[in-house]
């Protein structure tokens, strides 16, 4: 199974989403919030194309947008919002419709870093998360621990699908209130 970078985010939000995506697929409702989020995302890409690199603390570099990457070694794929090629190295950039950097954003970024590394054969030491509502750029170091955990997550997604395991409700069940799969989870309050 080829895992998508977005699957890691979903897995961390709730593993059941992986079950509903791959094991017993259901139709999910696209909420108004999601549609607006997508539009804001595109608008950010359009703006970013005209912006300077200063926000990223870089003096020079070449930006590339919406790039598809696949790693045969990891059997992982994803479309990266942006990456910057500089003499100092390559940096993945992920745009998020969020006001703070969450854990699942971090591991998505690490997964993109792994894809960039495999594609260019150059180590990636850091990357950026751009928070759209705040217009803020956050630098994250790609640590050995984060790499290891990301690889474990890729394995966990694959394992869940192979075993066709229906996971428990996440401990933070507050997430269910906003979830587009809520109709399929009869056991949540
Ligand atoms: S409603 Fe809750 S348990 Fe069901 S998929 Fe969504 S977050 Fe997971």
Whether the CB of 185 sits within 6 Å of ligand 1: yes
Whether the CB of 182 sits within 6 Å of ligand 1: yes
Which residues contact residue 15 at a Cβ distance below 8 angstroms, ignoring those fewer than 6 apart? Answer: 156, 160, 167, 170
The per-residue pLDDT of the chain, averaged, comes to 90
* DSSP character at residue 110: H
Q: How far is the CA of 25 from the centre of ligand 1 (A)?
A: 14
Whether the CB of 17 sits within 6 Å of ligand 1: yes
The pTM of this model reads: 0.90
Return the minimum-mean-pLDDT range out of 37-46, 138-147, 164-173, 177-186: 37-46
pLDDT at position 16: 94
Return the minimum-mean-pLDDT range out of 103-112, 146-155, 164-173: 164-173
* pLDDT exceeds cutoff 80 at 185: yes
pLDDT per position as a tens digit, 19-46: 999 999 988 766 666 666 677 777 777 7
* pLDDT exceeds cutoff 70 at 170: yes
Between CA 159 and CA 168, with CA 164 as vertex, the angle to 5 degrees is: 90
Whether the CB of 175 sits within 6 Å of ligand 1: yes
Q: Which two tokens stand for residue 173?
A: 């069940």
From the candidate CATH numbers 3.90.320, 2.60.120, 3.40.630, 3.30.450, the one assigned to the domain spanning 3-185:
3.90.320
pLDDT at position 173: 61
Instruction: Please report, rounded to a whole number, the percentage of residues in the chain having pLDDT higher than 70.
Output: 92
Cα Rg, the chain, nearest whole Å:
17
pLDDT at position 49: 66
Give the atom of ligand 1 at the shortest distance from the alpha carbon of 187: 3
Q: How far is the CA of 145 from the centre of ligand 1 (A)?
A: 28
Ligand 1, atom 8: nearest CA belongs to which residue? 14
Looking only at Cα atoms, what is the longest distance across the chain? 53
Q: Which of 9, 15, 16 to mutate to test the pocket of ligand 1 (most atoms within 8 A of CB)?
A: 16
* pLDDT exceeds cutoff 70 at 189: no
Return the minimum-mean-pLDDT range out of 8-12, 82-86, 165-169: 165-169
């Amino acid at each position: 199974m080829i895992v998508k970078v977005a699957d890691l985010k979903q897995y961390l939000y709730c593993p059941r989403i992986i079950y509903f995506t791959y094991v017993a697929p259901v139709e999910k409702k696209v909420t108004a919030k999601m549609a607006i989020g997508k539009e804001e995302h595109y608008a950010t890409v359009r703006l970013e194309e005209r912006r300077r690199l200063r926000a990223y603390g870089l003096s020079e570099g070449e930006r590339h947008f919406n790039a598809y990457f696949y790693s045969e070694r990891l059997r992982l794929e994803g479309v990266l919002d942006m990456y910057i090629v500089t003499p100092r190295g390559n940096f993945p950039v992920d745009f998020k419709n969020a006001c703070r950097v969450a854990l699942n954003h971090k591991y998505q970024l690490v997964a993109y870093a792994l894809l960039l590394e495999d594609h260019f054969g150059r180590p990636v030491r850091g990357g950026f998360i751009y928070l759209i509502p705040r217009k803020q750029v956050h630098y994250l170091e790609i640590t050995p621990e984060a790499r290891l955990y990301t690889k474990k997550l890729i394995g966990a997604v694959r394992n869940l699908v192979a075993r066709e395991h229906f996971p428990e409700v996440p401990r933070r069940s507050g997430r269910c209130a906003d979830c587009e799969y809520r109709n399929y989870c009869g056991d949540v309050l």
